[in-house]
Chains A and B, each alone.
Chain A
């Protein structure tokens, strides 16, 4: 059984925000949707969560009772305590009192929020709030977990904690679809969907995407000429369809995504 989208397009206010997006996620799989601001990540997740109706295409998603969702805003009630937030989610999902107690205790422990159980949502740090939001989304052990930028604005330690939580859910056989702006995180997913202005520019397993980068990527100490150059750390990188000067670099996912985005922009400019 898989969940996903087939050729989904969404038009909002006369603007195409998602253009023929397709993805599949199986139980135990993690799909990372990456892209810059306004690339259509949240729209894609909103369609999969049933929050946004597609203009075209097919959506296969879990029923509400088997769906866990983390909105970009964390979905935590600021005027409820951490424990009360979890209790609300458990009650809505009709969990019995004893089962809810046990699950809430376990989730607070797993997320490291036991000491903050009585703290109001508004008084939690950004990382704690995101972890609580994820915990609320998986309180009922959903079949499909959709997380909208779970690690944005979160410190590195909390990011690691969140990824441990996400991997744990996948190991439990939940299908996970998440959006992120961090490409190092996306590399941990089984499949990556790279969006740019609503269009899918790359899709597949991270290793496959990297292996499929055409041409060569070379390193340079100063800014190379041409449209396909970008800064990476203290040095520059440049993509050549063939040949070129400088040390040839073995690309990673970040390089692959940048090359795809630059080529996409160049092609759009040509049109």
Chain B
């Protein structure tokens, strides 16, 4: 038994990634999620419109945070602001009547706003838009679509590529008349198609089985999913390029998956996270796909209203895919080619000797 224990410790010491997972990750998770795991919304951005906007804005207590006062605007403008995701709450201050519009797609913010309004008193009229019954499933299903794309794109893809390395077939590929780009696209295309089918099934099941509304354009959602898939598939290839076996690939994939699930606003609202943790969410692709899917499905947001998450996803996609392609290319180039080049080593002659 002693021999087994010593052997296991020796193996564990050499598997530094697993060791890091066991020691560093729990600490990191404790610190990050200790701050992030909160459903309490302490600040609610509000836009106040209507002729009495200035007076109402002055009377709004915390946690309401007045971001804009627009006396010239009306209810239509307020609805547009909510649909475009500018603010989660708008107050329409018409003479003799105050209406509070809540964005139901931001579940926790809407609930916090309702609770705060109840404390204020005066019982203004409250209209919950986009998810009138404030159903959790309506908010979760669009986010789950992103999570499933993330799982297929990152975890499954990383396994598919690293399998090639483990079975020793990568060397075979490297001498075949294939360009790195051919291998890269050939590897990710099947996963891309499977993920696209998964997305269709999730959205169809969400709307048909759970009654999740779909107010926006299918094309806009498809475009968002396309960009998101590029990021997730590229991440999968990147993970596989730095992993020696499938176990390492899964470890790394989980390390990228977990923060996305917990810090993207899918479960805990970004607004309730302190800035020190919230910025992590802003570099995660799922944050932006969740904004797109909820915006399109629940609020019917057009492409113009979602340009920001689209832009961030496009930038992330370009960066990740470029990096992944370069890493993949390095796989298929002669080992040591880069170093030899830098040292001005004699040129390798391709073709027959004279």
Contact = CB atoms under 8 A, between A and B. Distances in A.
Interface of A: 1-4, 6, 10, 12, 24, 46, 49-65, 67, 69, 71-78, 89, 92-94, 136
Contacts of A3: 352-353
Nearest to A69: B175
B168 interface: yes
Contact of B349 (A1, A60, A71): A60
Contacts of B349: 58-61
A56 B353 contact: no
A85 B353 CA distance: 32
A59 B177 contact: no
A37 to B, nearest CB: 17
Given A51-B175, A65-B177, A60 B352 contact: yes
A12 B172 CA distance: 21
Given A2-B353, A54-B340, A64 B176 contact: yes
A11 B44 CA distance: 63
A78 B164 CA distance: 10
* 8 interchain residue pairs of minimum CB distance: A73-B168, A60-B353, A75-B172, A53-B337, A53-B334, A71-B171, A64-B177, A65-B177
Contacts of B340: 53-55
B160 to A, nearest CB: 11
B337 A93 contact: no
Nearest to B174: A51
A75 B348 CA distance: 25
A61 B350 CA distance: 6
Contacts of B352: 1-3, 60, 62
A62 B350 CA distance: 7
A125 B340 CA distance: 40
A16 to B, nearest CB: 13
Given A63-B177, A93-B177, 9 more contacts: A6-B353, A46-B171, A51-B175, A52-B335, A56-B346, A59-B349, A60-B353, A63-B351, A73-B169
A64 B175 contact: yes
B174 A4 contact: no
Given A71-B168, A73-B168, A92 B176 contact: yes
B336 interface: yes
Contacts of B219: none
27 contacts: A6-B353, A12-B335, A49-B175, A50-B348, A51-B174, A52-B335, A53-B336, A55-B343, A56-B345, A59-B348, A59-B349, A60-B349, A61-B350, A63-B350, A63-B351, A64-B177, A65-B177, A69-B171, A69-B172, A72-B168, A73-B167, A74-B168, A75-B169, A77-B169, A92-B177, A92-B178, A136-B172
Contacts of B346: 54, 56-58
Contacts of A56: 345-346
A176 B204 CA distance: 57
A37 B321 CA distance: 39
Interface residues of B, number: 25
B168 to A, nearest CB: 3
A93 B351 contact: no
Contacts of A10: 336
A136 B346 CA distance: 32
Contact of A51 (B178, B334, B343, B351): B334
A6 B349 CA distance: 11
Contacts of B174: 50-51
Nearest to B336: A53
A72 B172 CA distance: 10
Nearest to A24: B353
Between A46, A69, A92, the greatest number of chain B beta carbons within 10 A of the residue's beta carbon is seen for A92
A77 B350 contact: no
A202 B346 CA distance: 25
Contacts of B350: 50, 59, 61, 63
Given A55-B336, A60-B352, A77 B345 contact: no
A261 B353 CA distance: 31
A136 B175 CA distance: 12
Contact of A67 (B168, B175, B178): B175
A92 B177 CA distance: 7
A188 B178 CA distance: 34
